[in-house]
């Protein structure tokens, strides 16, 4: 099936990044296989993470099919684009069908992008991971690639106004070594190792990031343990509980 939507979207994103002069650094792109299935499992700090994670696969000339919540596919603007790029809708109330679709895509040789934290981390630290990424990799017999993203939260993240016209922001993308599911006794053990690896990559991305907050009012995008004012993991979890309670929707 010809790719009529995805390549123009990628070209438009790259053009926007050039206009904004984003300083994008990609490390470990050679880990993305040029053929065959793979799961790219990324941390989640920004609404733009799917774009930056996808950029990590460009050197290998792969188009990543991301798993995203169903509401994105039913939106009048994003829906046609998501369907045209053949991303995978996730109905959190009936996840078996979405899981099966992802495994089928992996077995057919696709690269599937997953955010195993499920939602954006307000603390900008790696939260507990869902096991779906490792379970689908195990069933399909494909590797899992840990992906660390950093910097995108400065453009658009949960609880902050969008600043999509901000220029010269550094963006770090680090793709770790592939994890072979056959090396693990069960997916839960693999998930624990994925969290360890992802946490180490994110921590390195944060510590090696070339920018620092411009002052106290700009420290919100830095995690607390590095001197920023982002909420701690515990505080962020409480904020999510309150938000969902206010929305009266446990899946929001």
Listing DSSP states for 155-211 in one string gives: TS-TTS---TT--S-EEEEEE---B-GGGSSSHHHHHHHHHHHHHHHHHHHHHT-S-
The span from the CA of 207 to the CA of 212, in Å, is: 10
pTM: 0.95
pLDDT for 94-138, tens place per residue?
779 999 999 999 999 999 999 999 999 999 999 999 999 999 999
Q: What percent of the chain lies above the pLDDT cut of 70?
A: 98
pLDDT at 82 over 50: yes
**DSSP helix/strand/coil, 116:** coil
The span from the CA of 165 to the CA of 34, in Å, is: 33
Pick from 20-24, 44-48, 245-249: least confident: 245-249
The span from the CA of 72 to the CA of 79, in Å, is: 6
pLDDT for 8-43, tens place per residue?
999 999 999 999 999 999 999 999 999 999 999 999
């Amino acid at each position: 099936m010809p790719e009529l939507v995805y390549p123009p979207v990628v070209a438009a994103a790259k053009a926007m990044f050039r206009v904004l002069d984003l300083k994008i650094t990609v490390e470990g792109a050679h880990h993305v296989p040029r053929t065959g299935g793979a799961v790219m499992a990324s941390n989640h700090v920004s609404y733009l993470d799917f774009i930056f994670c996808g950029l990590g696969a460009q050197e290998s000339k792969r188009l990543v099919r991301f798993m995203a919540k169903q509401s994105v596919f039913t939106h009048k603007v994003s829906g046609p684009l998501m369907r045209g790029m053949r991303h995978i809708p996730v109905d959190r109330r009936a996840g078996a069908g979405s899981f099966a679709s992802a495994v089928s895509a992996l077995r057919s040789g696709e690269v599937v992008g997953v955010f195993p934290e499920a939602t954006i981390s307000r603390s900008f630290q790696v939260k507990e991971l869902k096991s779906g990424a490792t379970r689908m990799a195990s069933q399909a017999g494909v590797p899992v690639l840990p992906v660390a993203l950093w910097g995108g939260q400065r453009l658009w993240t949960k609880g902050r106004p969008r600043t999509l016209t901000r220029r010269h922001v550094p963006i770090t993308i680090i793709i770790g070594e592939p994890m072979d599911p056959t090396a693990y006794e069960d997916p839960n053990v693999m998930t624990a190792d994925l969290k360890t690896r992802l946490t180490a990559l994110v921590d390195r991305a944060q510590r090696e990031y070339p920018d620092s907050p411009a002052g106290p009012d700009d420290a919100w995008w830095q995690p607390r343990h590095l001197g920023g004012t982002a909420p701690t993991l515990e505080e962020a979890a409480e904020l999510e509980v309150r938000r969902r309670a206010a929305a009266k929707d446990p899946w929001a």
